């Protein structure tokens, strides 16, 4: 705790709601309909069963904008929402060593609290691709009693719901510097009472499991032969046990949640992996890296998983895919979307719907996907694509939207936006 530059008093926080689309895939216990408490929502797949989100807005003309607030620093982390809180992270100062966790009121955008911390010494953040991300590329996670955030400085932080620090760990001091060509973007996730953090970098990659209450290590699984990746793991129940599924450097690996032991492993992915896998039952849909194949892998046959199908090499570098009913929708970094028949891998169509992008699509009863220039395309997939709207925000966007309580929350280059009636 001696490195806390310490917090300003609680102000007003804002959280994004998430709702599960089908009871058949894993959801967080205790989340209310509408909450969006972690990267890619409560189901970790970009979906919510909520419907009736806005389809038309214009940020420059202030049409359809409920509120927007200026953020005190840089970052590409996505907003998360729980109850009436919306939380986002940012960094500022020299080499972005000043770390910020911010909580806003979901209804008004008023700041509820802001916690400022001092980061561990780290390399300057990667600056080649605008907008500037600083060290806040990882999305926070909100539990009923805590907020967990991770920064590219290697600092893993747990706060209570009022922003007061509970514990803080410097993974760089404990396990060595994190060397990754583009910085760290993998987000923390919480399964039961365990915080999971995937650190893939040039030397000594690992998956860390820490106690949510104390921050103490429960287990640490070394990942030899795994190098630069930015994928976030997902937790799913496979063959009756909870497993942590990680993509990285040509390999999918599943670990037992309780012990960290490898339960399944499959090759065939690309060298660099950014997208988050999607789980339906025992089947994992994996987007494997830049210009890589898309895979459907059945983990119920582990320790040797069965490859159900793989596509030709048209995969994205950064955006994650999304499942919409019987379709797997895969966007790429150049504005192209490919739609596959989920059961067979048959390609149904491939269409250009927008400009270059880094965000991942999210789904209520429609798909929302935002380009780097801040334009969000709204569409329905099927045997053919139905484009419903294209909406300009007027600000660059590299983060993924969150759908919560009937509103859309978008983190732009300078502002946090709430789009809603």
Domain containing 108 — which CATH number? 2.130.10.10
Cβ contact 7:113 at 8 Å: yes
**pLDDT bucket at 9, cuts 50 / 70 / 90:** very low
Residue 122 lies in a domain: yes
Token pair in block for residue 317: 């570098």
User: Which residue segment(s) compose the domain that 394 sits in?
Assistant: 65-419
Tell me what pLDDT residue 122 has. Answer: 74
How does pLDDT run across 157-178, given as a tens digit for each residue?
Answer: 999 999 999 999 999 999 999 8
What is the Cα gyration radius of the chain? Answer: 19
pTM: 0.91
3-class DSSP assignment, residue 94: helix
Query: Per-residue DSSP letters for 370-418?
Result: E-TTSEEEEEE-SSS-EEEEEEE-SS---SPPEEETTEEEEE-SSEEEE
318 falls within a domain: yes
Assigned domain for 128 exists: yes
What tens digit of pLDDT does each residue of 213-230 get?
999 999 999 999 999 889
- Taking each continuous run of H as one helix and of E as one strand, the counts in the chain are 1, 32
pLDDT value for 268? 82
Tokens of 79: 């907003």
- Number of separate domains in the chain: 1
* Residue 6 within any structural domain of the chain: no
Q: Is the pLDDT of residue 15 over 50?
A: no
Model confidence at 203, in pLDDT bands (50, 70, 90)? Answer: confident
Judged by phi (left if over 0) then psi (alpha if -120 to 50, else beta), residue 86 lies in: beta
pLDDT tens by residue, 309-334: 999 888 888 999 999 999 999 999 99
Task: Report the SS3 class of residue 98.
Answer: strand
Q: What is the DSSP string of 144-194?
A: SSEEEEE-TTSEEEEEETTS-EEEEEEHHHHH-----TT---PPPEEETTE
What is the distance between the alpha carbons of residues 63 and 151, in angstroms, rounded to a whole number?
A: 34
Looking at residue 16, what is its pLDDT?
30
Assess if residue 309 is contained within a domain: yes
Length of the chain: 421
For residue 350, what pLDDT is reported?
Answer: 95
pLDDT tens digits for range 340-382: 999 999 999 999 998 998 999 999 999 999 999 999 999 999 9
Encode pLDDT of 104-150 as tens digits. 999 999 999 999 999 887 776 665 565 667 899 999 999 999 999 99
pLDDT in tens, 84-116: 999 999 999 888 889 999 999 999 999 999 999
pLDDT band at 11 (very low <50, low <70, confident <90, very high): very low
Report if residue 16 sits inside a domain: no
Q: Is residue 41 part of a domain?
A: no
Q: What is the mean pLDDT of residues 65-91?
A: 96
pLDDT tens string 390-418: 999 999 999 999 999 999 999 999 999 99
Residue 287 lies in a domain: yes
Angle, alpha carbons 325-327-331 (nearest 5°)? 125
Task: Dig out the tokens for 233 from the structure.
Answer: 């793991």
């Amino acid at each position: 705790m001696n490195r806390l530059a310490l917090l300003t008093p609680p102000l007003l926080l804002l959280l994004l709601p998430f709702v599960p689309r089908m009871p058949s895939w894993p959801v967080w216990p205790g989340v209310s309909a509408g909450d969006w408490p972690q990267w890619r929502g409560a189901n970790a797949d970009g979906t919510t069963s909520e419907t009736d989100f806005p389809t038309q807005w214009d940020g420059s003309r202030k049409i359809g904008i409920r509120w927007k607030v200026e953020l005190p620093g840089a970052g590409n982390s996505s907003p998360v929402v729980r109850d009436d809180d919306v939380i986002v992270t940012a960094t500022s100062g020299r080499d972005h060593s000043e770390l910020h966790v911010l909580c806003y009121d979901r209804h008004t955008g008023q700041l509820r609290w802001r916690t400022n911390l001092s980061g561990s010494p780290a390399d300057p953040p990667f600056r080649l691709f605008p907008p500037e991300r600083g060290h806040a590329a990882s999305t926070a996670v909100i539990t009923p009693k805590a907020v967990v955030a991770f920064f590219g400085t290697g600092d893993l932080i747990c706060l209570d719901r009022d922003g007061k620090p509970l514990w803080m760990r410097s993974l760089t001091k404990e396990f060595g510097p994190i060397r990754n060509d583009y910085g760290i973007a993998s987000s923390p996730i919480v399964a039961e009472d365990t915080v999971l953090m995937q650190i893939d970098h040039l030397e000594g990659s690992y998956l860390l499991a820490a106690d949510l209450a104390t921050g103490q290590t429960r287990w640490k699984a070394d990942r030899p032969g795994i190098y630069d990746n930015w994928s976030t793991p997902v937790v799913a129940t496979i063959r009756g046990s909870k497993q942590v599924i990680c993509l990285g450097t040509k390999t999918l690996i599943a670990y037992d949640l309780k012990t960290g032991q490898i339960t399944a492993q499959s090759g065939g992915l690309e060298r660099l992996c950014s997208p988050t896998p999607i789980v339906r039952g025992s089947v994992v849909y994996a987007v494997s890296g830049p210009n890589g194949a898309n895979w459907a892998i059945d983990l119920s046959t582990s320790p040797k998983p069965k490859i159900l199908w793989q596509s030709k090499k048209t995969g994205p570098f950064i955006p994650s895919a999304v499942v919409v009913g019987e379709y797997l929708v895969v966007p790429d970094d150049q504005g192209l979307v490919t739609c596959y028949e989920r059961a067979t891998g048959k390609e149904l169509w491939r269409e250009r719907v927008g400009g270059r992008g880094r965000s991942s699509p999210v789904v209520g009863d429609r798909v929302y996907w935002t380009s780097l220039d801040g334009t969000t395309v709204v569409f329905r997939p099927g045997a053919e694509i139905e484009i419903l709207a294209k909406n300009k925000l007027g600000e660059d966007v590299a983060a993924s939207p969150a759908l919560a309580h009937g509103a859309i929350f978008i983190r732009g280059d300078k502002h946090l936006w709430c789009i809603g009636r």
